C-alpha cells in the first residue's frame, strides 16, 4: 500500500514518462525528415524504452492497490535542429528526468516507504544508463561536426539499436 501523496507523485511521473515517449517519437519522425534513418531508429527504440518505463510504473501503482490517473500529455516540438542539437536536447531531457526520479526517491525516504524506495532504485540505475548512452553518442557527434561522411557513419551505428527487452507478462 502506498500513500495518496506517493500515488499522486507516481501518477505524475507516469505522465512525464509518457511525454518522454511522445517526444522521442516526434524526434524519430523529425530524423526521418532529415534523411537519417539510423537516428530515427535510435529515437524509435528510445520511444519503446519509455513506454516500458511507463508500464513498469503503472503496474507498480496497481500492485500497490493505488488508483491510476492518466493525465493530458504535453505536445512535443516537431523540429529539433541539427543532429547534435537533437542529442543535446535529449541529454538535457534525461537530466531533468533524473532529477524527477530523485525527487520521488526523496519522498519515499521521507515517508519511510521502503517498497517504493526499492522500486525506484531501478529507475535511479536506469537514469545513469540513459545519460551515459546519450553521452556516448554526443562525443562522436561533437567530433564530426558538419562532416557528412562522419554523420553517415554515426547514422549506420544508430541503425543497429534494437527493441528493448519486453517486461514479463502480468
Ligand atoms: Fe524514462 O527515462 Fe528517459 O525519459
Residue 67 lies in a domain: yes
Q: What is the reported pLDDT for 75?
A: 98
Residue whose CA lies nearest to ligand 1 atom number 3: 94
Give me the domain span that covers residue 67.
Answer: 4-71+79-159
Residue 169 lies in a domain: no
Best mutation site among 10, 12, 20 for ligand 1, i.e. most ligand atoms within 8 A of its Cβ?
A: 20
Q: What is the mean pLDDT of the chain?
A: 97
CATH code of the domain covering residue 11: 1.20.1260.10
Residue 54 lies in a domain: yes
pLDDT band at 112 (very low <50, low <70, confident <90, very high): very high
pTM: 0.96
The pocket around ligand 1, CB under 6 angstroms, is made up of: 17, 20, 50, 53, 94, 97, 130
Percent of the chain with pLDDT over 90: 94
Q: How far is the CA of 149 from the centre of ligand 1 (A)?
A: 30
Which atom from ligand 1 is nearest to the alpha carbon of 127? 2
Q: Which of 125, 122, 153 is nearest to 137 (CA)?
A: 153
Residue 168 lies in a domain: no
pLDDT per position as a tens digit, 23-67: 999 999 999 999 999 999 999 999 999 999 999 999 999 999 999
Residue 152 lies in a domain: yes
Helices (H), ranges, the chain: 4-33, 37-63, 83-110, 114-144, 148-158
Q: How far is the CA of 163 from the centre of ligand 1 (A)?
A: 15
Amino acid at each position: 500500500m502506498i500513500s495518496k501523496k506517493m500515488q499522486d507523485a507516481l501518477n505524475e511521473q507516469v505522465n512525464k514518462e509518457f511525454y518522454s515517449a511522445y517526444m522521442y517519437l516526434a524526434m524519430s519522425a523529425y530524423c526521418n525528415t532529415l534523411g537519417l534513418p539510423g537516428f530515427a531508429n535510435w529515437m524509435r527504440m528510445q520511444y519503446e524504452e519509455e513506454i516500458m518505463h511507463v508500464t513498469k510504473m503503472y503496474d507498480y501503482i496497481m500492485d500497490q492497490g493505488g488508483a491510476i490517473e492518466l493525465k493530458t500529455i504535453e505536445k512535443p516540438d516537431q523540429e529539433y535542429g541539427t543532429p547534435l542539437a537533437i542529442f543535446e536536447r535529449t541529454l538535457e531531457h534525461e537530466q531533468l528526468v533524473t532529477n524527477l526520479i530523485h525527487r520521488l526517491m526523496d519522498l519515499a525516504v521521507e515517508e519511510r516507504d521502503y517498497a517504493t524506495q526499492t522500486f525506484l532504485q531501478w529507475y535511479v540505475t536506469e537514469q545513469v544508463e540513459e545519460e551515459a548512452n546519450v553521452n556516448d553518442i554526443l562525443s562522436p557527434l561533437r567530433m564530426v561536426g558538419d562532416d557528412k561522411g562522419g554523420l553517415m557513419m554515426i547514422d549506420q551505428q544508430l541503425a543497429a539499436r534494437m527493441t528493448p527487452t519486453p517486461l514479463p507478462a502480468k
